[in-house]
Amino acid sequence: MDANSQAAAELLNALMRTAARFSEMGRSVSRDFFPHVRAEPVSDLAGPAVRLGAALALPGHDLVFETAVAVGEGTFGVRGGLVLDGEEEILVLPPVETADAVACAALLDRYADELTTPARWHVQRLIESCGEDS
């Protein structure tokens, strides 16, 4: 396998790992906060871009955890974030461009970690704030 094929395989594996991590996070948070949280995967392929993540529906709120990789002229652009109710950006990870597919894969892994690790905390905070509003 040549270097380009190896790099493409690494990026594909990173995309599959990212999708699996968001799916597992969604299932886990949904189980832990049942019946208050429902999870759905975010998985879109639009032209030269792919979005991966999880959408969590809570009483009165929606949380969307998302990463995206866009392929440009010899570059890969990676971004990530957490959006509350389709409007409020709670966490915005810096958009990064790289020409290296392996670096892109590593960045995607890092962004998935930065988004999934605090998921339970965000959900707990929102559920508690809903209880205080009652």
Residue 134 confidence (pLDDT) above 50: no
130 domain residue, yes or no: no
34 domain residue, yes or no: yes
Average pLDDT estimate for 77-100:
96
113 domain residue, yes or no: yes
54 domain residue, yes or no: yes
Per-residue model confidence (pLDDT) at position 6: 81
Per-residue model confidence (pLDDT) at position 1: 66
Per-residue model confidence (pLDDT) at position 62: 95
Average pLDDT estimate for 66-76:
93
Express each pLDDT in 18-38 by its tens digit: 999 999 999 999 999 999 999
Residue 5 confidence (pLDDT) above 90: no
Q: Which residue segment(s) compose the domain that 43 sits in?
A: 3-123
Q: What HEC string does the chain produce?
A: CCHHHHHHHHHHHHHHHHHHHHHHHHHHHHHHCCCCCEEEEEEEEECCEEEEEEEEEECCEEEEEEEEEEECCCCEEEEEEEEECCCEEEEEEEEEEECCHHHHHHHHHHHHHHHHCCHHHHHHHHHHHHHHHC
69 domain residue, yes or no: yes
Asked whether the whole model's pTM tops 0.85, one would answer: yes
129 domain residue, yes or no: no
Domains of the chain: total:
1
132 domain residue, yes or no: no
Q: 35-39, 69-73, 84-88, 129-133: lowest mean pLDDT where?
A: 129-133
